[in-house]
Structures are given as structure tokens and as C-alpha cells.
Chain A
Amino acid sequence: MSPLLETQALTRRFGGLEAVSSVDFRLDRGEVRALIGPNGAGKTTLVGLISGRLAPTTGRVLFDGHDITRRPAWHRVGLGIVYTFQITSVYRRLTVHDNVVLAAQRRRLRGLTDWLALDREAVAGDVAAALATVGLAQVHDQPAGALSYGHQRLLEIAMALALRPELLILDEPTQGLAAAEIDALIGLVRDVARQATVLLIEHNMAVVLEVASRVTVMDSGRVIAEGTPRQIETHPDVQRAYLGR
């Protein structure tokens, strides 16, 4: 079965620093892949290259068999690659509802006629569903900036869900969350994984063990190991890479 996402010799340099070095990465449909590694390993950069926020220095990115290396980020979202920010980036002055509407309507705006006669009821329905899934339905008319940090993260995920992603990229989703919120998030990820492929960057090993089907480990811009969570836990290279933490 061909992979959903594939990178070939993907490299990104910033001046003299090679943040991502010739990475060959493959992701199959339906996986929940965790991407771990010490700080500065290049995880966020790799994910930036996949989502289109960054352009590669060399190498290719393929999605569902198509070469998307030259495609800008907004186009990739249309293809189904959705990225949620590491530092939450919601529309603080808009209501929770309006935040999600922007995501939900994007999905339905394919042709010119959609602009003129958008089915608002359907969009509202999508919004309600997304908010219900993450558990934010009660606060739908509050300004997003008034939400707690944990809730803003949930809002980000709701927006991502409203886009019906094929590949959902979560960048350190549990960072800054309380224990109960983390548990809720784990449940959420499991739910999402039923319909989408998930790639998450995580430092919290407990979460990784709970949720991931496979783990990729990066260090200094390269992939140093890949396997099931159990395998990675006991992998000597991985332990060495993490020793300094």
C-alpha cells in the first residue's frame, strides 16, 4: 500500500545550520505516528516542511503519490494536510463559534457559486459537531481570547477537525495542559485517528505510549530510529540521544 505521506531526502538549511538533513520519512494511512526527539532535533522544522510553512532547501514531499513540494501551505490544507500550532494561534477577538466557522466554511468553498450561496446551516452544523467533539460547545459565543490556555488548544483542534483533515499534524498538543486535560486529549486523538492519519510531536512519553502506533525519533536533523513505542523505549540510540535531557 502506498504511503499517505512521503519525504525524499528532505533537507532544510538555515544559513550554516542544517536543521533537517536528508530525511526519508514515510507515513501510512490510519497511523498515529509520534515524532520525538530532544530540543532542536528538527521536529518542528520537519513538520513545517510537510505542512508547507517552510520551503525545503532540497528534497521532495509527496502526498498521496503527488509531488507537493512546490505547493504553498494554503493549498496543502485544501489537500487535507492540517497543522495545529505549537503556540496557540486562534483569532482572539472573534468568538469561538466564528473561529471554527472560518475553518468549516473553507471546506465547502470549492467553486465560485459557493461564495455567493454558501449553505450556512450546513456550516453551522459542522461547527457544532466540531465543538461538541472537543467539548467546547458551551462556550461557543465567548471571545476566543478569553478562554483558558487548555481550551484554546482544544479550539485549535476543533478548527482542524472542521477542515476534515486527511493528515492532522499536532505540534506538542499536551504542552501546558493539566493532567485531566491531557487525558481528555488522549481520548480525542483516539477519536480523530478513526477518521484521519495523525502525526504528533510530543515530549510526553506517557502520552506517546498510550496513543501512538509507531514512533519516529529524530536527533540533530536526522531520523535515528523508528518502531513501535515499546521498541523505541528500549532502543540504545534513543536513550543516548535523550541522555542530556
Chain B
Amino acid sequence: MTPDRRDPALGIHLGVVALLAVLQFLLPPFHHGMMARIMVLAAYATGYNLLLGYTGLMSLGHAMFFAAGMYGTGLTIQHLGLGVAAAFVAGVAAGLVVAGVVGLITLRTTGPAFLIVTMMLAQAFYLAMLYFNEITMGDQGFVLAGLPFADPTVKYNVALVVFAACLLGSLWLVRSPIGRVLVALRENEERTRLLGYNTALYRLVSVVMSGLMSAVAGAAYTLLFSYVGATFAGILYSIYPLLWTLLGGAGTTLGPLVGTLLMTYLVDVASGLTTGYLMVVGAVLVLTVLWAPAGLVGGLRARWARWLP
């Protein structure tokens, strides 16, 4: 762990970003939209991974963070006429508030209880969005008009920027002192407390950061795809990041991207085959838990690259 001039991990991450950038010139246009979606959702998964992979807390309620970003941005544009930048900030701020509240509520909850509490809170959030459907348009949602992101190339590159920011941000975080403490929290909470760390505070910070990144993804999604709808607040969108992260590898920075990429294409293919395509979601979950608990990148890392963050 001696500080090195060359930083292979950073190199790999930058390489991945570069690859994604180049990809847009190689892929046919249909896939541009798909990839843009994937990159934003991968940003969401990266945020989720901060909590699951590094702090060791499994949440089933992240949809409320994503949706907070989405509604914060979408509603302010639709009803308050805010501009893109201001709306983005509003979405992120909404995510911050929701994450803060949830973090405070769950300060002393761990393990399966944490799972259920977050699931319940997210469900309540979802139902509330349905309840107020004069404003939110419930499940059907509404479309935002006049956003400057219609061009596929613009979509792709903005999504790329968002994802790259989240990816590199998470890389910096997990290698920083804070990241170490979060891992310590995951590994042995009492020990960490007795090393002088205010574990409650770190818990809260972790939830907030994770929620914040998810909200950023949500806000970006709304801006890029001009759509706001309660489906994104539903339990499926809390299960998705869990799935993507687990499959890709919790506790690895690149895992979420891999998982999101694979699963989104898989679901896309499956939906062409059968109406019951979510079965694929179920099957992959079960298989991953049984056969590959470390995920794809996690497995690779254990074999060949233990130094990868």
C-alpha cells in the first residue's frame, strides 16, 4: 500500500470511461438511447453500491432516493417553470432531504431490519406519490416538453458525464479515509467505535451519500428522457439496483456498471420473448445468490486483481 506514482486502478477506471466514450461511434443508433439509459442507471447502481458494498447495508428502498431526484427535477420544471440547471439542483436537494430523513430514522437499524424498514419507507413514498396524483400524475406520469436533450448524441454524452462523475467519485471515496472507515463499519462496528469513530455519524453520512448519488441519477434521468412517473418509485426500482450491484459485484467500483449493462440487455431481450420477462430478474437473483455471491467483477477481482477497489 505504498503510494505509487502510477495508479493502475485509476488507469482502469479512466479507461472504462474512455471506452464508453468511444463506443458511441461504434454502436448503431438504436443502442445509443439504450446505452444512455444504462449509464444513468449505472450511476444509480454505483450510488447504491456505496451503501451495500462498502458500508455493508442492504437497502430495499433506494427507489425513493432516485424518485426524489426525479420528482424534484420534474415537478419544478413542470409546475414552477425552473430551468434545467436549477431543476437539477432542486432534484438533488430533494434527494438530500429524503436521504437525511431516512438516514436518521434508520440510525440504529441493521441487517434484515434495515432491509424491511427501507422497503416500507420506500413503499410509503410510492403510495404517497400515487395518492397525490393530481400533482404527480401517479403511475402514468407526465412528459416534460422542451428540454434541450432530444438529440441522441447529446443524451449519450451527458449520460456519460454523469456516470463518469459518479464512478470516479466513488473511486475517490472508497480509497479515501472515509471509505476505510465505512469498510471498517461493515467489518466490525464495535471495534470501529472503540477506535474513536462516531459510527452513527458515519452511518448517516453513508446513507446520505448513497441517496444523493441515486438522486443525481434520478434527476439526470428525468432531464435526459423527459419523463416523470411513479413506476420509478416502486419496489421494482429498488430491487433493480440491488440486482445490478449483486450481479456485477458489490464492493467493487466497476461492478454496478457491469451488472446494469448485462441485466438491462437481458431484460430487454426477455421482454421481446414473453410477457413474464421479469422472471429473468427473479432467476438471476436466485442464481447470483447461490453461485456467485461476489458478483462478476468481484469474482474476477478475487482471482486476478486483489488490488482493485
- Could you tell me which A residues sit within 8 Å of B by CB distance? 51, 53, 72-75, 77-78, 82-83, 85, 89-94, 97-98, 101-103, 105-106, 109, 114-116, 118, 120-121, 124, 141, 159, 163
Q: Quick check: B194 and A109 within 8 Å, CB to CB?
A: no
A74-B197, A120-B3 as given contacts; A105 in contact with B191, CB under 8 Å: no
Which residues of the partner chain B approach A102 to less than 8 Å between Cβ atoms?
A: 180-181, 184, 192, 195
Which residue of B184, B188, B199 contacts A74 across the interface (Cβ within 8 Å)? Answer: B199
Bound form: Cα–Cα A101–B187 in Å: 15
Q: Quick check: B188 and A109 within 8 Å, CB to CB?
A: no
Q: What are 10 contact pairs spanning A and B, CB under 8 A?
A: A53-B194, A73-B193, A85-B194, A89-B190, A101-B1, A109-B177, A115-B177, A118-B177, A121-B3, A159-B195
Which residues of the partner chain A approach B3 to less than 8 Å between Cβ atoms?
A: 120-121, 124
Indicate if B198 sits at the interface (CB-CB under 8 A): yes
Q: Quick check: B195 and A106 within 8 Å, CB to CB?
A: yes
Give the one of A72, A102, A106, A163 with max B CB within 10 A: A102
Q: Quick check: A74 and B198 within 8 Å, CB to CB?
A: yes
Which residues of the partner chain B approach A109 to less than 8 Å between Cβ atoms?
A: 177
Q: Quick check: B194 and A83 within 8 Å, CB to CB?
A: yes
Taking the nearest CB of chain A, how far is it from the CB of B122, in angstroms?
A: 30
Chain A: interface secondary structure?
helix
Which residues of the partner chain A approach B181 to less than 8 Å between Cβ atoms?
A: 102
Q: Quick check: B197 and A92 within 8 Å, CB to CB?
A: no
Which residue of B187, B194, B199 contacts A92 across the interface (Cβ within 8 Å)? Answer: B187
**Scoring B residues 172 to 215 as 1 if CB is less than 8 Å from chain A, else 0, what string do you get?**
00001110110110011011111111110000000000000000
- Could you tell me which B residues sit within 8 Å of A by CB distance? 1-3, 176-178, 180-181, 183-184, 187-188, 190-199
Chain B: interface secondary structure?
helix
**What is the chain B residue whose CB lies nearest that of A106?**
B196
Which residues of the partner chain B approach A105 to less than 8 Å between Cβ atoms?
A: 177, 180
Taking the nearest CB of chain B, how far is it from the CB of A93, in angstroms?
A: 6
Bound form: Cα–Cα A72–B196 in Å: 10
Q: Quick check: B188 and A91 within 8 Å, CB to CB?
A: yes
A91-B184, A105-B180 as given contacts; A77 in contact with B191, CB under 8 Å: no
Given A74-B198, A114-B177: 18 more A-B contacts, CB < 8 Å: A51-B194, A73-B193, A73-B194, A74-B193, A75-B196, A77-B196, A89-B188, A90-B188, A91-B187, A91-B188, A97-B1, A98-B1, A102-B180, A105-B180, A115-B176, A115-B178, A116-B176, A118-B176
**What is the chain A residue whose CB lies nearest that of B1?**
A97
Which residues of the partner chain B approach A72 to less than 8 Å between Cβ atoms?
A: 198
Q: Quick check: B196 and A93 within 8 Å, CB to CB?
A: no
Tally of contacts, chain A with chain B, CB under 8 A: 69
Taking the nearest CB of chain A, how far is it from the CB of B188, in angstroms?
A: 6
Which residues of the partner chain B approach A91 to less than 8 Å between Cβ atoms?
A: 184, 187-188, 191
Which residues of the partner chain A approach B183 to less than 8 Å between Cβ atoms?
A: 94
Would you list the 7 A-B pairs with minimal beta carbon distance, nearest first? A77-B196, A91-B187, A106-B196, A89-B191, A74-B198, A78-B196, A74-B193
Which residues of the partner chain B approach A124 to less than 8 Å between Cβ atoms?
A: 1-3
Bound form: Cα–Cα A82–B178 in Å: 21
Bound form: Cα–Cα A78–B196 in Å: 6
**What is the chain B residue whose CB lies nearest that of A79?**
B196
Taking the nearest CB of chain A, how far is it from the CB of B182, in angstroms?
A: 11
**What is the chain A residue whose CB lies nearest that of B3?**
A120
Which residues of the partner chain A approach B193 to less than 8 Å between Cβ atoms?
A: 73-74
Bound form: Cα–Cα A178–B180 in Å: 33
Which residue of B178, B187, B194, B199 contacts A94 across the interface (Cβ within 8 Å)? Answer: B187
Taking the nearest CB of chain A, how far is it from the CB of B115, in angstroms?
A: 22
Taking the nearest CB of chain A, how far is it from the CB of B202, in angstroms?
A: 10
Taking the nearest CB of chain B, how far is it from the CB of A27, in angstroms?
A: 19
**What is the chain A residue whose CB lies nearest that of B188?**
A91
Which residues of the partner chain A approach B192 to less than 8 Å between Cβ atoms?
A: 102
Taking the nearest CB of chain A, how far is it from the CB of B25, in angstroms?
A: 37
Which residues of the partner chain B approach A73 to less than 8 Å between Cβ atoms?
A: 193-194
Bound form: Cα–Cα A85–B176 in Å: 27
Bound form: Cα–Cα A120–B191 in Å: 22
Taking the nearest CB of chain B, how far is it from the CB of A190, in angstroms?
A: 24
Which residues of the partner chain A approach B197 to less than 8 Å between Cβ atoms?
A: 74, 106
Which residues of the partner chain B approach A114 to less than 8 Å between Cβ atoms?
A: 177
Bound form: Cα–Cα A103–B197 in Å: 9
Taking the nearest CB of chain B, how far is it from the CB of A235, in angstroms?
A: 33
**What is the chain A residue whose CB lies nearest that of B184?**
A102
**What is the chain B residue whose CB lies nearest that of A93?**
B187
Bound form: Cα–Cα A242–B188 in Å: 36
Which residue of B2, B180, B188, B190 contacts A98 across the interface (Cβ within 8 Å)? Answer: B180
**What is the chain B residue whose CB lies nearest that of A116?**
B176
Bound form: Cα–Cα A114–B177 in Å: 9
Which residues of the partner chain A approach B176 to less than 8 Å between Cβ atoms?
A: 115-116, 118
Taking the nearest CB of chain A, how far is it from the CB of B197, in angstroms?
A: 6
**What is the chain A residue whose CB lies nearest that of B187?**
A91
Which residue of A92, A103, A115 contacts B195 across the interface (Cβ within 8 Å)? Answer: A103
Taking the nearest CB of chain B, how far is it from the CB of A154, in angstroms?
A: 16
